[in-house]
Structure formats: structure tokens, C-alpha cells
Amino acid sequence: MRLGLYGINFGPCARPETAARVARAAEAAGFDSVWTGEHVVLPDPQVPPSPVPARTPMLDPAVALAHLAAHTTTLRLATGIVILPQRNPVVLAKEMASLDVLSKGRLILGVGVGYLKPEFDAIGADFAHRGARMDEHLDALLALWTQAKPAFAGETIRFAGIDAQPRPLQRPHPPIVIGATTAPAWRRAVARANGWYGFAMDPDTTRRQLEGLAAAARTITRPAALGPLEHTVTPPPGPVDRDTIARYADLGVGRLVLLPLARSADELVAFVERTAELVV
């Protein structure tokens, strides 16, 4: 079981010195990755399904991970997730390619469709058609990363006669992980992604999600170049024990990205070190 640490860009880790210290501790303890969350804006006052109060500090994922790239050497740097339908994919392709180069090939790009309509409205993004925008933006991003002469013609994104350098260091592109909890998203993960990511899921919920992915795989031909679909899960917040880790492993989960209930750098480092004793 590989271990990741979630929340490296918000709460206590919105302070750069805390994020760097925690990331270095995770690397030293044998964690394989650190993961960011993303909300450009949050509803104020907080209303469901908004995950945290609007005043929660949350750094931009690309900026936060670029900072951590300079303070680590082997740790994978993952977005968990970027809300792709809210982003201009041409700009995002440049940002993430730059991050992959700066980190010497350590980026994992996690993407999802998003779920907060007030956030989409503030950005001016189309909430109703976010699934279609997700697919189109992913196509555009991959065209910029993999085509010798990038060209794309979609409903909202079109380009030709351009190039975008540097390309990502990882070839053909950094691993793409799709956060997915619905049938369309399961199909998207099976058909298009290197990995699937489930957030705040206990083992029983994870089992049902993996059953949905398996059902999707029976109806969709997965490109051989993608390899096996990797399964990554963030359990409910807080510590885990050996038995819980074993339950996820028995389901086929290859990475747990843990979300500590911690309010300081000292508490986060202690959480990392205690967890590493269980697994690493």
C-alpha cells in the first residue's frame, strides 16, 4: 500500500513554511505523494455541499506544488483534484507541463467535474454541461501535450497553428487520475485515465465504487496503452489502523491518501510519522 497525504495546500499548509516541512517529513517517512485540493472560491456563508468555510485558506494547486517541488526530491506532486470544466485547458496545459518540468517529472494530474454551482457561476463556467466540458478540455489538454503539431476543434475550445513548450517531462504525459463517483465518470475513468480517485470513502463505499468501475469496464474497451487502472482513495478524515489499511488493500486499492485532523505543523508531522510506522 502506497501512502499519500491530502491537504498540502490548505488549512495549516496554506503557510509555505508549514507545507514545506510537512512535505519533507512525508518524503522522509516513505510517503509516495502529497495531494492538493481545489476551490477557486467558496460560498459565503457556507451551505451544503460546500466542504469547508469560505475563509479557509486554499492555495492554487500549481503554485503550491511548484513551491514543494523545490523542497522535495522524490515525492509525487498530485492535484486531488483540479476542477477541469472551470479551467481554460490551454492555460492549464502550460501550468501543469511547467510543474512537471520543474519537479523533474513528478506530477500526477487529478481532475474532476466539480459540484459547487456558486463557484461555477462566479467563474463564468457552464455548470449544466460540465461533463461535456470535462471531456472536451481533457482532449484539448492531451492534444497540446502529445501532438507534434497541436490542433483541436471542439465546441468551446479551438486551436491550430500553435505550439506549447515545454512539453511535460513524463511521456506520453503525466499520469491522469479522474475523481469519479457516478456511472458517466466511471466510464470516463476506464476509457481515459491512468487512475481513479475516491474521496472520503470508507471501505464499504469504496467497494461499491469499485463494483461500478468494474461494470463500466465490461462495457468499454480500455486502451492498452493506459495499463491497469490504479485505485486511489482518501478515507474519512483522521488516522487509520492496520486492519483498515488491510481492508482497502483487499479491495484492490493501491494508494491511500490520508486527510489528517491536524491544526499545526507539529500535529501534521506527528500524524505522518505515526502512519508510516503502520505501513512503510
Domain ranges of the chain: 2-279
CB 116 within 8 A of CB 123: no
What pLDDT sits at residue 17? 98
What pLDDT sits at residue 280? 62
What pLDDT sits at residue 166? 96
Digit-coded pLDDT (tens) for 203-262? 999 999 999 999 999 999 999 999 999 999 999 999 999 999 999 999 999 999 999 999
- For the question of whether the overall pTM of this predicted structure is more than 0.75, the answer is yes
Burial state string for 201-233 with b = 16 or more CB within 10 A and e = fewer than 16: bebeebbebbebbeebbeeeebeeebeebbbbb
What separation, in Å, do the N-terminal and C-terminal C-alpha atoms of the chain show? Answer: 8
Nearest to 100 by CA among 122, 77, 123: 77
Rounded Cα distance between 162 and 26, Å, is 40
Q: What are phi and psi of 154, to 5 degrees?
A: -115, -170
Q: Which residues in the chain land under pLDDT 50?
A: none
CATH number, domain 2-279, options 3.20.20.30, 3.20.20.70, 3.40.50.300, 3.40.50.1390: 3.20.20.30
